């Protein structure tokens, strides 16, 4: 084998490695993050879906966002679900990635295109069809979720946790040329709060107080 061939082979391997690293860096430039929080049993919670960019090249003009709820610990049929009617208020707030150029707002399109309870799909694009810059601290969406007790009691579900993640197989970003835009994502966690149960002594005192008031009224 000639030295020239070996040199060319090494050059090819080096170039391939550089291209691979470049592709990985490009994919990692835009970051989508799901917020975390706590919810009362049978209560509701609103979370932000953040989006951050690191360079002037981080931009896109269209997206489909698919989120999935997965129970990490759950009692009985206790569950966390996306509420049927999701708020569109975020689309007109200053930190929304397409603010002032949202096709959903300006054309009256559907913000939520699918909602099965444990999976939800959002869609929007720029009305101008131009790319929007992605900077730090922007929002891609907000979500409303509700805890469902099912057959469980409030005591059973205390501490139950659910993961809300971006379905990277179905979530897509596109630029104005129709090319896919790479991203990475991080999941959020929702934990069910414990509900305070009155101590027996406190309950007895309350009952005695109520009884005394009732006797006074009868007199």
* 64: CATH: 2.60.40.680
pLDDT tens readout for residues 21-66: 444 444 458 999 999 999 999 999 999 999 999 888 899 999 999 9
- Show the domain range for 140: 30-195
200 assigned to some structural domain: no
Amino acid 196: pLDDT: 74
91 assigned to some structural domain: yes
The CA-based dihedral angle spanning residues 19, 22, 23, 27, taken in that order and rounded to the nearest 10 degrees: 180
23 assigned to some structural domain: no
pLDDT tens readout for residues 60-84: 999 999 999 999 988 888 999 999 9
107 assigned to some structural domain: yes
Q: pTM (2 decimals)? A: 0.79
pLDDT higher than threshold 90 for residue 6: no
pLDDT tens readout for residues 138-179: 999 999 999 999 999 999 999 999 999 999 999 999 999 999
DSSP-derived secondary structure for 65-118: EEEEEEEEE--TT-EEEE-SS---GGGGSTTBTTTT-BHHHHH---SEEEE-SS
Structurally, the chain folds into a number of domains equal to: 1
């Amino acid at each position: 084998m000639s030295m020239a061939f070996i040199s060319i082979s090494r050059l090819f391997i080096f170039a391939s490695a550089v291209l691979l690293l470049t592709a990985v860096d490009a994919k990692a430039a835009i970051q989508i993050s799901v917020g975390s929080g706590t919810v009362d049993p049978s209560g509701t919670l609103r979370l932000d879906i953040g989006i951050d960019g690191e360079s002037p090249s981080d931009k896109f003009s269209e997206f489909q966002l698919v989120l999935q709820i997965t129970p990490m610990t759950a009692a009985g049929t206790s569950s966390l679900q996306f509420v049927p009617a999701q708020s569109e208020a975020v689309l007109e707030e200053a930190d929304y990635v397409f603010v002032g150029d949202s096709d959903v707002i300006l054309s009256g399109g559907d913000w939520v295109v699918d909602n099965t309870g444990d999976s939800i799909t959002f869609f929007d694009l720029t009305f101008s069809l131009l790319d929007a810059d992605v900077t730090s601290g922007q929002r891609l969406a907000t979500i409303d979720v509700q805890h469902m007790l099912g057959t469980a009691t409030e005591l059973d579900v205390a501490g139950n946790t659910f993961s809300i993640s971006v379905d990277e197989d179905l979530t897509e970003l596109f630029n104005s040329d129709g090319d896919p835009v790479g991203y990475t994502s991080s999941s959020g966690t929702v934990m069910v709060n414990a509900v305070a149960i009155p101590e027996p002594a406190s309950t007895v005192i309350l009952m005695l107080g109520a009884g005394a008031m009732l006797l006074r009224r009868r007199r």
